[in-house]
Amino acid sequence: MLIAGLLCRGPARAEEIHPRLFITPARLTEIRQAIGVTGSHHQEALDALREKVDQNDIRRFGATETNWNYARAYLAQSAAFLYQLTGEPRYATQAFGVVQDILLQPDPDRRGPDNNYRKTEPVGRGIDTNYGLSQATVGQGLAYAYDWCYPAWTETQRQFVKDHLNRALDAWETYRHANLESEHRGSNWVAVCRGGELVMLLAAYRDRQRPARLHFLKDELHRHIRNGYTPSGFTQEGIAYCAYAGLFLLPAVYALESTGDPSLREAIRDRHWWKWLMFAGSFLTKDGHPTVLQSGVAGEHGDGQGWPSLLLPSVAPQHLPYYLYFYDRYTGRKAPGTSGQKYEPHRAGTVWSLLYYPQSIPAVDPTGHAAFRGLADDSAGVYYFRNRWRDSGDVHLSLLADARHHSHAWDQAEALQLTLNGLGTGWISGPGKERNDSLFSTLLVDGRNHLPRRGTSHTGGPGRAVFGSDGGGYAGVSGGQKYDSLGVMSAKRHLEVRFAAEVPALLSVRDQVKSVAAHAYTVNLNLGKTGPETRRAEIGRGAGGHPEFTVFGAGNSQLRGWVVRPKDAQVQVVQVKSSTPAAGPWQVLQITTRGQDRDIWVVMALGEDLPPARIKAGSRKESFTLGKTTLSLPGTGSPPRY
């Protein structure tokens, strides 16, 4: 260590009482009591966190070959929390040593709490020396360690860390980035940078010296909450980027509340991120991470870094038992894997799991409850269906209109986008950060999903939905300006969903397109990247000579599809190259027809031993029957009753 000194309880300053943020004596007592219950969430989560921190290995906290300081910040936060929870001075000693390494022995990427930190030596490799995301991530870790270990550190140690916090806060005053200054403040950068700074400001008690800065940060976060998220919490950047932003936004909300100011807590009251996660989150894991229905530029990996736990205080009391039921299976006691793979094990997520998981509240299965029959957010055109909350065999899917756009934020042209997970397999997904039109699970016009220019010309139009008691129902969305820009007069997608014991899921998808000129229209379904888990696909002719396809998934599961209209549509499976050379190609199923106005109806069944299909032809009275279930053309007249 470059700074010596035994840990001892130094004299507390009258103006600084720590811990100031999140932790209270009453809450510590509650957590300790819960830890004493054999097999409880808190007992297992504490054991998992102790095992990880005691190894003192930053690789366990996500260190890469060149970026160590993020992992160090998470280790310092975790050790500091263990000091508060256990009272063991060794954890405060460990936290200070890690913070000292951050500040005096930088990683190769020089990711530090202030921009001056990264300018002390030439960086090379074109790295931005003013990187706000680094300043927030590392600075927030310092803030947690300072606040939670303050009672155990010597005055010299306290002053050393506070001096660096103050220098970092000074740097924020002059920091500039385009994503922070856009009109709507919709980017995750706003949550990360402004939220991280607010936590630092409060931990160091600088809010009393800089009331104007405190007001500024609160105002920026208010704008971000108001403009960046719809009532469901949906953001154009995708659920994983929403989770990333939440790791800074929600601590800022709760930290401010710790000081007696509930204004930001009031601002998030009608932002239901937790419900979006309940409908998008799968009980299927991949590479040690829970998975989600893909949206925005995010991938299929769910968050295990603290966001699901940070959401717990935001759930209304009447809905908390249902969210707990989901949480326990998504990342808690009933999630798949060992205890070290649960309780938000990545980075410092387990800290929030211990801090915010409630005691003495029984979890209740949301399946069939009127409030959880579906998720509809008309302001963004977001519609989710789910048959149950049980295990990796759950079936859930989404249809997006993508009706909102904010500049200077990640975005994809997702109007009419369809996603599907179920029976242990992710079947239909989106492009993530790929910009190739052929990777969107939507309707292509002449092979295009959007024009090169970005902005509101990519947005879809309004939608509507009705849900049944079994989680099925109907949703319809408009293609809006995106399809106007692609040269068609209008485009609409209708989706009817049926869940039943005989056929786990039936999806009836109808695309209506009108145009003054002829085009090639393609119902495009992204089946995912090729590799060891590549799904085999077969194409042929089925009932009545209609085009048919089958995609095989985990176990004996399959996704079988029939093109009810037009009968002459062409079906093929193609491989699309990734923009990342090292990544394998994507596998895409395409259903293509050509003409001026087109009405395309595709039915897909998800199951194992599927019964035979029957298709009744006719210009107006055609129908599709699978087993005992008969479907008529969706989107005709008023939405069906469920």
Q: What is the pLDDT of residues 334-382, one digit of tens each?
A: 998 888 889 999 999 999 999 999 988 999 999 999 999 999 999 899 9
Residue matched to tokens 């053309």: 633
Summarised one tens digit per residue, pLDDT across range 19-62 is 999 999 999 999 999 999 999 999 999 999 999 999 999 999 99
What's CA 519's distance to the chain center, in Å? Answer: 36
Within 462-534, strands assigned E span 463-467, 473-478, 490-498, 505-514, 519-529
The whole-number pLDDT of residue 544 equals 87
The whole-number pLDDT of residue 302 equals 79
The whole-number pLDDT of residue 622 equals 87
Structure confidence at residue 120 as a pLDDT band (50, 70, 90): very low
Q: Give the residue-averaged pLDDT of 176-195.
A: 93
Residue 9 has pLDDT above 50, yes or no: no
Q: Which of 118-122, 132-136, 221-225 has the lowest mean pLDDT?
A: 118-122
Residue 425 has pLDDT above 90, yes or no: yes
3-state secondary structure 592-635: EEEECCEEEEEEEEEECCCCCEEEECCCCCCEEEECCEEEECCC
pTM of the model: 0.93
The whole-number pLDDT of residue 11 equals 44
Q: Which of 72-76, 216-220, 242-246, 336-340 has the lowest mean pLDDT?
A: 336-340
Q: Give CATH for domain 25-121+128-356.
A: 1.50.10.100
Of residues 395 and 404, which shows the higher confidence score? 395
Class of domain 374-632: mainly beta
- What Cα–Cα distance (Å) separates residue 420 from each residue in 280, 398, 479? 10, 7, 20
Residue pair 98/148 in contact by the 8 Å Cβ criterion: no
Residue 642 has pLDDT above 60, yes or no: no
Q: Give the residue-averaged pLDDT of 129-138.
A: 85
Cα 197 from Cα 284, distance rounded (Å): 35
The whole-number pLDDT of residue 501 equals 79
Closest CA to 245 of 255, 258, 233, 230: 233
Domain range summary for the chain, segments of one domain joined by + = 25-121+128-356, 374-632
Q: Which of 166-180, 286-300, 475-489 has the lowest mean pLDDT?
A: 286-300
- What Cα–Cα distance (Å) separates residue 421 from each residue in 380, 386, 587, 634? 21, 10, 16, 22
Residue 94 has pLDDT above 80, yes or no: yes
The whole-number pLDDT of residue 125 equals 40
Burial of 472 (0-12, 13-18, 19+ CB in 10 A): buried
Residue 620 has pLDDT above 70, yes or no: no
The whole-number pLDDT of residue 309 equals 97
Element of type H or E holding 558: strand 558-565
Whether the CA torsion 591, 595, 596, 599 is positive or negative: it is negative
Q: Give the residue-averaged pLDDT of 241-249.
A: 96
The whole-number pLDDT of residue 301 equals 82
The whole-number pLDDT of residue 257 equals 97
Structure confidence at residue 116 as a pLDDT band (50, 70, 90): low
Summarised one tens digit per residue, pLDDT across range 521-536 is 999 999 988 766 678 8
Summarised one tens digit per residue, pLDDT across range 472-510 is 999 999 999 999 999 999 999 999 999 987 899 999 999
Of residues 544 and 217, which shows the higher confidence score? 217
**In residues, how long is the chain?**
642
Supply φ then ψ for residue 348, to 5 degrees: -110, 25
Q: Which of 107-111, 163-167, 268-272 has the lowest mean pLDDT?
A: 107-111
Structure confidence at residue 126 as a pLDDT band (50, 70, 90): very low
Residue 243 has pLDDT above 70, yes or no: yes
Residue 6 has pLDDT above 60, yes or no: no
Residue pair 234/270 in contact by the 8 Å Cβ criterion: no
Q: Give the residue-averaged pLDDT of 582-605.
A: 93
Query: Across the chain, what does the average pLDDT equal?
Result: 91
Residue 118 has pLDDT above 60, yes or no: no
Residue 331 has pLDDT above 90, yes or no: yes
The whole-number pLDDT of residue 581 equals 72
Residue 29 CA neighbour count, 13 Å, CB half? 3
